[in-house]
Amino acid sequence: MTTVLDGLGMGQHVSPFENADTFLQLPGDTPELMALRRMTMPTAHLNVAGFTIRTGYDWLLEAQRHPAPHDLWRDHGMVYENECTCIFSDTNVGKSILAVQIGIDIARHNTLNVLYVDYELSERQFAARYTDDNGQMMDMPDNFFRAQMCDTISSDDLDQDAVERVIEAIKQTAADVVIIDNITWLSCQTEQGDVAGMLMMRLSEIKRRGKLTIIVIAHTPKRPAAQPITLNDIGGSKKIANFMDSVIAMGRSTQGEDVRYIKHLKGRNSIIKFGGDNVMVCRMTKDDGYVHLVPTGTSNERQHLRHNEPVDVEQLRQLKAQGMTLRDIADRIGLSKSRIQQLLAGL
């Protein structure tokens, strides 16, 4: 029994769960029989103030009744169904190309409708990426949809009800997966923490109520090419990253104009496979009218960073003063541990 407060603040002893008595031990019960009875009987719960409350054990039982979230993008462990994922990079690195590629892969290999909301490209620009030099168009799956804003929509109208327009497009296409390119078009004020937080809450609510998978594209402001990419590099408020289930960064490599690397910065459903010491290396190519990224292996992120830029000595002093280790400073700056040690010795 549990003591709770009634509306007048008076304490009363009540059982908070609807079926709590059914989980009491019965004569002759063994631990195995009790576990079996828990598995086969309705989960006891309490609905109050918009919350569903169960014991921790009952939540584990409830989770077992539902299939594990499906990894939608080639078992890379970065895009799971019913999650919000963010893909970000600097300008002209290829984040939109990667987003379309992920959308097409999901549409081809899953019985899911994918809606790509494209605020960036015109129809001619989009077609140029997916048509070869002979005018042969790429064969796209029928369950991959692309939405483009009508010319009659003004920027003022777009900023006021952009999310509602996306919701309507989701309904009309019966989309299971929606990709938004990019998030700044949903609100021009994402740099403000409160605005970004409210926007992300709206997206999370849409995901939860519609059982959707949402992928949003974001940008990163100008950043030192010698430093590893971190969550702090997402353009706008850090609240964007806080609300995301998964965050994927895309970087330009110094190993070639067509070389990119993909780094998984945040994930809630699996162990991160492609962290800083094992980024996914890709080559940008166009085959049969299809611009896409071809994985070529993995490597340490440091191998793709530019190291000939002058080191910010003041930044080194600050990181050392914060008590960071040589390894942590090396990862932050994008230099080797021995090089950091040499620089610190000269301060």
* Residue 70 belongs to some domain of the structure: no
The mean pLDDT of 7-24, rounded to a whole number, is 43
pTM given for the model? 0.74
Whether 97 and 224 map to the same domain: the answer is: yes
* Residue 69 belongs to some domain of the structure: no
Whether 59 and 164 map to the same domain: the answer is: no
Locate all alpha helices (DSSP H) within the chain, ordered by sequence. 31-40, 56-64, 95-109, 123-129, 155-173, 193-210, 239-243, 313-321, 326-333, 337-345
Whether 188 and 337 map to the same domain: the answer is: no
The mean pLDDT of 12-38, rounded to a whole number, is 56
Per-residue pLDDT reduced to its tens digit, 247-294 = 999 999 999 999 999 999 999 988 899 999 999 999 999 998 999 999
Q: What pLDDT, on the 0 to 100 scale, is given for residue 187?
A: 63
Q: Burial level of 37, CB count in 10 A (0-12/13-18/19+)?
A: middle
Binning pLDDT at 50, 70 and 90, where does residue 342 land? confident
Q: How many domains does the chain have?
A: 3
**Which residues constitute the domain of residue 321?**
313-345
Whether 298 and 216 map to the same domain: the answer is: yes
Alpha-carbon 303 to chain mean position: 25
Locate all alpha helices (DSSP H) within 154-297, ordered by sequence. 155-173, 193-210, 239-243
Nearest Cα to 183, choosing from 143, 237, 122? 237
Q: What pLDDT, on the 0 to 100 scale, is given for residue 198?
A: 73
Nearest Cα to 169, choosing from 145, 153, 186, 200? 145
Residue 131 DSSP code: B
Instruction: Tell me: pLDDT of 39 over 90.
Output: no
Sign for the pseudo-dihedral over CA of 102, 105, 110, 113: positive
- Checking 100-105 for CB contacts under 8 A at 24+ apart, the result is 100/129, 100/179, 101/292, 101/293, 102/73, 102/179, 102/215, 103/144, 103/177, 103/179, 103/215, 104/140, 104/141, 104/144, 105/73, 105/74
Q: What pLDDT, on the 0 to 100 scale, is given for residue 313?
A: 79
* Residue 78 belongs to some domain of the structure: no
Q: What pLDDT, on the 0 to 100 scale, is given for residue 22?
A: 45
* Domain stop point among 36, 64, 92: 64
Binning pLDDT at 50, 70 and 90, where does residue 242 land? confident
Whether 138 and 60 map to the same domain: the answer is: no
Whether 224 and 248 map to the same domain: the answer is: yes
Query: Which one-letter amino acid corresponds to residue 7?
Result: G
* Residue 74 belongs to some domain of the structure: no
Contact assessment for residue 98 and residue 108, using Cβ atoms and an 8 Å cutoff: no
Please tell me the least confidently modeled range out of 47-56, 194-203, 318-327: 194-203
* Residue 8 belongs to some domain of the structure: yes
* Residue 280 belongs to some domain of the structure: yes
